[in-house]
Structure 1
Amino acid sequence: MKIKVLNSISLAIVFVMTGLLSCKKEKVESCAGVPGITKVSTTLNRDEGKDKGNLSDWIIIQGINLCDVNSISFNNIEADLKTAFIEANEVTIKVPRGVPSDVNNKIILKTKNGTAEYGYTIVIPALQVSRMLNEYTPAGETMVILGKNFDLYEINKTDGKVIFGTTEVNIDRASADSIYFKVPANAAVNSVIKLKDKRNTVTPVPGFYRDNRGIIYDMETAGDYWNSAVLVRQDGPVPTPVASKYAYWKGNYNAWGWNEAFHIVSNPKLGDYNVVGSSNNYTIKFELNVLDTWKGSNIKIKLMDITYTWVPPSGFPVKTKGWETVSIPLSVFKTANVPITITPTQAATAKELRIYIHGATVEALNMAIDNFRIVPND
């Protein structure tokens, strides 16, 4: 009997709930009048009004008579109403990601009964073209340009181009931060590379293709070896060279073992490479290829009795996807925490310059470098 009572109670509850639900009326929004916008807020704080925001922000447009909205534009770019949440007195919507051709700093909302406008400034991030992943990418192979907001400025396979010297090249693939294309067969040393967007705006890529200015050591000559057990010079087959010979660290590195690479051209005169004046005006570059994971036996560079320890920007451990160009501002060489200035006298004097591996980490190295150079900043 107890079970029957419980079942009866449960059944009664179901009947009552069903009755209540059947009596519930759907909420009907009324938007008979002209729309108006009184405030724009973020989704995190609907009470605080905002007159400025970023692309891709979710915002709440507050006002009256909004439920029959048929378009909302920011500057002259329409938002996607399919993802919006629309009610009589507010619309929650995502600011569209795009660069407007007409900047009016307004939200324009339209319904069948009229139009409402509201002053709202969208912060448009700038196009950033950072660098070539590998300045020495051989002709016919894929080069990668790194940066930010390529998608926003429509530098893509359909609408963008690469201008390589005087040759216009198709883009094979693009993302928000990377452009991929094949280096043309006629690519010349020290070519300037530019990117062209959908609006035919041209933006230069920092650096020069196969930049041979200020090459102090191209690995074609031996230099001074301290220990050739780990370092060799070769031109392949693994890794495939970017020029000809390269310096190849392969073997066991012992802690503080002085498995040094070389003294570069022994003692170069920096003036012979046009390196004189403020170090803020120059950059050290070389190509690096880490085939097996590099755990942390740091590369050290010594210039004018100052030693700098280079750590990859991503930190350790690190492994590259082929050859990559490393850039180190010459200003990292400091005396009393002040970047050095190379006087004409110093530039005319032979100064020891070396690049080597030395440190506390014990590991098996499998990595290569090439084209050690000091170049003027663009």
Structure 2
Amino acid sequence: MKTNKLRILPLLAILGCLSWLSGCQQDEVNAPPVVERFRLLDPTKKDSTFTAAVPGTLLVIQGKNLNNAVNVYFNDFPAAFNPVYNTAENLIITIPAQTPTAVTAPKVSNKVRIVTTHGEGTFDFTVVQAPPVIASISNENASPGDSITIVGANFFGVSKIVFPGNLEVDSTKFKPNKEGTLISVRVPANMTQSGPLSIVATFGTTTTPAPINYVTGPGVLCNFDDVNTFAGWSGTSSKDATLFPGNKGSFGYLSVKGIVGGNNEWWTSGRSINVNETQWIAPANLKAPVSDYALKFEIFVKTPWKTGTMLITPNRDAKPTSYTYRYTPWKIGTASVDFQTTGWQTVTIPLSEFRTSNGTGDSAPSLEALLGAAGKNQFQMMLVADTDGMGEVSIGVDNIRVVSNKAVK
């Protein structure tokens, strides 16, 4: 039988085209990654493309052939990502907080490198230095002339620290550590006002959410001098600087020389400070989230503390539904250490950390649940022993206050 050549030719052409397309598709599948743009993950900001971002930014890398990614590097620093969300067109990733920048490593590449199973590519992208962040201040009520330590991050290019009253301390008077996490500085000798503290740096300015040098005003529950009435009981108050040096006026103190395990008599053994009812939070602010506020006080632990718990509660009559915070600074993870301070230190406890069931249950769902409809309550801190009892503990306490924990914008 003769073959019709005219009928075979079109079929060969079609097969050739299919083979060509298959080859193109195979080439595309095996092609190295291509980046077309970087944008924020936030769906309301899909058009926000950029070529630079700070560490910690969650972004989407968009392009072609991004599937089967194996590694991604920002300035040669590895970044983790979830492969579940990795497609040929998108790669969702967070710039690692530890990514080097031109500030911490002047010779950084300013590149993103993407390695896939079918190739790799390098693309221009600048990781810029994040602005400074203040995490804590060693003593927020230090006396003028005293040295304090500011703990945080990104303390690079700091030009000045501004204390309340617009008192500026320039960079010749302090030096951050090389990691940019600590600054030791002296409180200006002429500081008399209370207010936020600010750090001014090349890459931004940060300000404490709560005022420092704050011993009187809204939210101060007791300063042991002229705010509220110290109800006394087994603890006491004094202004004797030989007991706890560096004090500002009167302070309360707990002097424990032995508490039997299981004994919760807060009125005995020098173990309790009780404060009369006062305004914790103004009624107008009670609808705010519980996490917006924190309890603060200064503490001076003169003798090593390694056992027992300080129970802190808005009321004196503990019940299963009462909200309590268990303060145990001698616990570091699963380890126990001798906790002792060299002077007065500020303690910060978010109100969201107060819990039912003697401090081990649920957080308060609202400020009203924690404090009552008027935002008022008492205050008690009491030392309780573990089952084997508690030895000698000597603790000074001052300037008990509730302040905003919300960052200043």
Partner of 2:367: 342
Residue number in structure 2 paired with 1:288 = 299
Shift of 1:137: 0.9
- What is the letter of the counterpart of residue 276 of structure 1? L
Instruction: Indicate how the Cα distance of structure 1 residues 351 and 143 shifts in structure 2: closer, same or farther if over 3 A, else same.
Output: closer
1:1-378 superposed matches below 5 A = 51-53=72-74, 98=103, 105-106=110-111, 118-119=122-123, 121=125, 126=130, 127-150=132-155, 153-155=156-158, 160-165=159-164, 166-170=166-170, 171-175=173-177, 176-197=180-201, 199=202, 201-211=204-214, 212=216, 213-220=218-225, 223-228=230-235, 231-255=236-260, 256=263, 258=266, 259=269, 260-265=271-276, 267-270=277-280, 276-277=286-287, 278-303=289-314, 305-312=322-329, 315=332, 316-317=336-337, 318-334=339-355, 337-343=362-368, 346-348=372-374, 351-360=377-386, 361-378=389-406
State the AA in 2 paired with 1:281: D
Shift of 1:162: 1.0
Deviation, 1:296, is 2.4
Structure 1 residue aligned with 2:17? none
Q: What percent identity do the matched residue pairs reach? A: 21
Q: Distance in 2 between matches of 1:302 and 1:327?
A: 14
SS of equivalent to 1:343? helix
CA contact (8 A) 1:132 1:205 kept: no
Q: Aligned Cα RMSD in Å?
A: 3.8
1:48-75 Cα deviation digits (max 9, x unpaired): 9855236888xxxxxxxxxxxxxxxxxx
Deviation, 1:216, is 0.7
Q: Residues 174-219 of structure 1: CA distance to partner in whole angstroms, max 9, x if unpaired? A: 213211111112323322211122x373222342111244111112
CA spacing shift, 1:200–1:97, aligned 2, 3 Å: closer
Q: How many residues align?
A: 279
Contact 1:270 1:276 in 2 (8 A): no
Deviations 1:297-325 (A, max 9, x none): 21111225322212228634312231111
- The separation in 2 between residues aligned to 1:274 and 1:106, in whole angstroms, is 50
Question: SS in structure 1 opposite 2:372?
Answer: helix
User: 1:55–1:190: structure 2 CA closer, same or farther, 3 Å change rule?
Assistant: farther
For 1:53 and 1:367, the matched residues in 2 are separated by 48
3-state SS of paired residue (2:232): coil
Aligned residue identity for 1:287: E
**Separation in structure 2 between the aligned mates of residue 234 and residue 274 of structure 1, nearest angstrom:** 35
CA contact (8 A) 2:368 2:375 kept: no
Distance 1:168 1:101, change over 3 A: farther
- Give me the whole-angstrom Cα distance separating, in 2, the residues matched to 1:368 and 1:292: 11
Find the residue that maps to 1:220 and give its secondary structure: coil
Q: What CA distance in whole angstroms lies between the structure 1 residues aligned with 2:125 and 2:105?
A: 12
CA distance in 2, matches of 1:282, 1:273: 14
Q: How far apart, CA to CA, are the structure 2 residues paired with 1:320 and 1:120? A: 49
The 1:132/1:353 distance shift into structure 2, 3 A limit, reads same
When normalised by structure 2's length, the TM-score is: 0.58
Inter-partner Cα distance in structure 2 for 1:101 and 1:339 = 48
SS at match of 1:306: coil
Cα separation, partners in 2 of 1:56 and 1:302, compared to 1, 3 Å: same
Give the 3-state SS of the residue equivalent to 2:157 in structure 1: coil
CA distance in 2, matches of 1:235, 1:196: 38
SS in 2 for 1:363: coil
Q: In the alignment, residue 204 of structure 1 is paired with which amino acid?
A: T
CA distance in 2, matches of 1:142, 1:297: 31
Aligned AA for 2:168? Answer: E
Structure 1 residues 313 and 281, CA gap change in structure 2 (3 angstroms): farther
Contact 2:145 2:189 in 1 (8 A): yes
Distance 1:187 1:377 in 2: 23
Contact 1:283/1:330 (8 A) holds in 2: yes
Alpha-carbon spacing, 1:101–1:180, altered in 2? closer, same or farther (3 Å): same
> Which amino acid is the alignment partner of residue 356 of structure 1?
M
Q: Could you list the per-position Cα deviations for residues 266-289 of structure 1 after superposition, in whole angstroms to 9, with x for gaps in the alignment?
A: x33545697633422211000011
